[in-house]
Amino acid sequence: MKWTSIIYPPTCPGCDRVLRPEERERGFCGSCLEQIVLAEEPCCKICGKALGDERQERCADCRKEEHLFTQGKSLFIYRGPMKEAMYRFKYSRRLSYRRIFAAEALRRYGADPDCRRGKRNGENAILAGADWLARIRVNWIVPVPMHAAKERRRGYNQAAVWGQGLSEAVGIPMLSRLLIRTRDTAPQKTLSREKRRKNLEGAFALAREDICLRGNRILLVDDIYTTGSTCDAASKVLLEAGAEAVYLLTICIGRDDL
């Protein structure tokens, strides 16, 4: 055991309680694990949002409009303990959560042979989609950028922190400053669908105009997926720079019926 674990024992992202030794591998306490809802099948084949009607292949949002990213996945439904976890991750510098989220991503979507056989953590069933990251063959992880002024105020970009943890876990390199945010846009959660789209027009750009992504497949990462407007705006810039395809992996997502 590292000395830092004694002085600063790991806590549960969901409730902030100090984890017991047997809870530390999964990263959440037993009580929160019972309440957390995984983003899993049945889910939208485009954005990964959990479906209320398993007869559908797309959520209501993706049935209304096409997205620029090819496919998205997420780890958890944004409800219960995960709302508190994301608040602390975004605003309280709980940067260590990235390792917990990255471990979950590896367990669910990584190319680990044991993961594909469904034998991690005593599981017997094959984990659906456990080799997703291997199948989509992405070359780079790219975080959704935060405006420089906002990042200075907060001290970090939680999407980049999450991306770094994911990169370390799955072995896909990250380009942390490939994209920049050119405008400090209004918070998306306060806007309607149409206003979200307009709010993000021209909000992203490449860090350098001479960057060419021809032949590269990109994994865009962010903390929470809502309607996909932010991801589409970032994907547009990447595709215009020659990216072959853009995929998406977020920590949390909503449900189609909520």
Q: What percent of the chain has pLDDT over 70?
A: 86
125 vs 114 pLDDT, higher one: 114
Look at residue 204 in the predicted model and tell me its pLDDT: 94
CATH topology for the 37-112+130-253 domain: Rossmann fold (3.40.50)
Q: Is residue 112 predicted with pLDDT exceeding 90? A: no
Q: Is residue 216 predicted with pLDDT exceeding 70? A: yes
Q: β-pairing, 140-143 with 245-253?
A: unpaired
Separation between Cα atoms, residue 224 and residue 41, nearest integer Å: 18
Written as six digits, the tokens of 245 are 């395809």
Whole-angstrom CA distances from 177 to 24, 144, 166, 186, 205 are 32, 10, 16, 22, 11
Look at residue 137 in the predicted model and tell me its pLDDT: 94
Q: Give the model's confidence band at 6: pLDDT under 50 very low, under 70 low, under 90 confident, else very high.
A: low
Separation between Cα atoms, residue 252 and residue 82, nearest integer Å: 8
Look at residue 188 in the predicted model and tell me its pLDDT: 64
192 vs 11 pLDDT, higher one: 11
- For the segment 50-109, what is each residue's pLDDT rounded down to a tens digit? 998 888 899 998 998 899 999 999 999 999 999 999 999 999 999 999 999 999 999 999
Tokens 């970009």 appear where? 157
